[in-house]
Amino acid sequence: MTDRYCVFGHPVGHSKSPAIHADFADQVGDDIEYVATEAPLDDFAGAWRRFVAEGGRGANVTVPFKEQAFRLCDTLSERARRAGAVNTLILGDDGETRGDTTDGIGLVRDLERHGVALAGARILVLGAGGAVRGVLEPLLAQGPASLRVANRTAAKAEALAVDFRDLGAIVGGGFEAVEGPYDLVINGTSASLAGDLPPLPDDLFTPRATAHDMMYGAEPTVFLHWAAERGAQTVDGLGMLVEQAAESFFQWRGRRPDTAPVLERLRQAL
């Protein structure tokens, strides 16, 4: 019998998740069906219940439903609880809905694939929204020397740092308080979508620093262009997308696919 999975979003037609998970299933020889499902804005919980009633075993969740997914879960992983959002729903054999967030571990694994050492690193994370909140626990688990969250509204970054300070050396503040250099700078703002750049000092990077943008496209983002001009290694968010999907697949199927060929195919298609 074919196991059924989906990605919920609104809109969701642009999602690469069906192609990614089809590749994963082919790799490991699993018989699954994975589709994109546009859930109604006012009834995400109902969409999940209907999917389960029709044989669904798990789902990915994208905007704007990650917080609603969090609230409907019977149990949560620690990283999902910390994030306050869920991007992976798992139907247990007992019928309970378990929630996880795989964005942060996807980011960490992609950085590791690029040879970025996180233990002992000085890390700067730009932004204080849900995307940033979802990656802080896995980043701090790697033991960086320090992690600063910078945001246009300083109070949001400061509050975020308070929420995670029991996990490691983390502080928050406004962009004006940022003083380099950093070994890793992660752009989790939405500025790239508008072609904008957060206000940053020119001496932001150490000589062997990496700049990561959670966004991706056929061409480097404005932030990555800016970082490359200042000598940083640049990494976009496509690898993070594939790696977080692989972690979701592992949660559902108990098998970890090889992400490299899937990432290469996606890159060529951009």
Last residue of a domain, one of 44, 74, 101: 101
* CA dist., res. 33 & res. 213, Å (int): 31
User: What CATH number does the domain containing 142 carry?
Assistant: 3.40.50.720
Clarify whether residues 109 and 232 are in a common domain: yes
- Residue pair 5/252 in contact (Cβ under 8 Å)? The answer is yes
- Domain assignment of residue 33, yes or no: yes
Clarify whether residues 56 and 120 are in a common domain: no
- Domain assignment of residue 265, yes or no: no
pLDDT of residue 225: 96
* CA dist., res. 48 & res. 65, Å (int): 11
- Cis amide bond preceding 11, omega within 30: yes
pLDDT of residue 194: 81
- The residue segments making up the domain with residue 148 are 104-239
Clarify whether residues 153 and 195 are in a common domain: yes
Last residue of a domain, one of 73, 101, 129: 101
* CA dist., res. 36 & res. 20, Å (int): 12
Q: Are strands 75-76 and 182-187 parallel, antiparallel or unpaired?
A: unpaired
Kindly provide the residue ranges of all beta strands, DSSP E only, lying in the chain, ordered along the sequence. 3-9, 32-38, 56-61, 75-76, 88-91, 97-100, 122-126, 146-151, 170-174, 182-187, 205-213, 233-235
Active-site residue list: 66
- Residue ranges at the known binding site for NADP(+): 78, 127-131, 151-156, 214, 237
User: What CATH number does the domain containing 54 carry?
Assistant: 3.40.50.10860
Per-residue pLDDT tens over the stretch 6-27: 999 999 999 999 999 999 999 9
- Domain assignment of residue 159, yes or no: yes
pLDDT of residue 213: 97
- Domain assignment of residue 251, yes or no: no
Q: How many domains does the chain have?
A: 2
Residue among 191, 94, 109 nearest 142 (CA): 109
Q: Which stretches of the chain score pLDDT less than 50?
A: none
3-class DSSP state of 69:
helix
Clarify whether residues 27 and 110 are in a common domain: no
Average pLDDT, the chain: 96
Clarify whether residues 139 and 44 are in a common domain: no
Amino acid at 156: K
Clarify whether residues 213 and 122 are in a common domain: yes
Clarify whether residues 58 and 8 are in a common domain: yes
- Residue ranges at the known binding site: 15-17, 62, 78, 87, 103, 127-131, 151-156, 214, 216, 237, 244
- Residue pair 87/61 in contact (Cβ under 8 Å)? The answer is yes
pLDDT of residue 142: 98
- Residue ranges at the known binding site for shikimate: 15-17, 62, 87, 103, 216, 244
Clarify whether residues 86 and 125 are in a common domain: no
- Domain assignment of residue 244, yes or no: no
- pTM summary value: 0.95
Clarify whether residues 89 and 150 are in a common domain: no
Clarify whether residues 18 and 74 are in a common domain: yes
pLDDT of residue 133: 95
- Domain assignment of residue 234, yes or no: yes
- Domain assignment of residue 146, yes or no: yes
Clarify whether residues 92 and 170 are in a common domain: no
pLDDT of residue 192: 79
- Domain assignment of residue 230, yes or no: yes
Clarify whether residues 139 and 25 are in a common domain: no
Angle CA(201)–CA(184)–CA(134) in degrees, nearest 5? 110
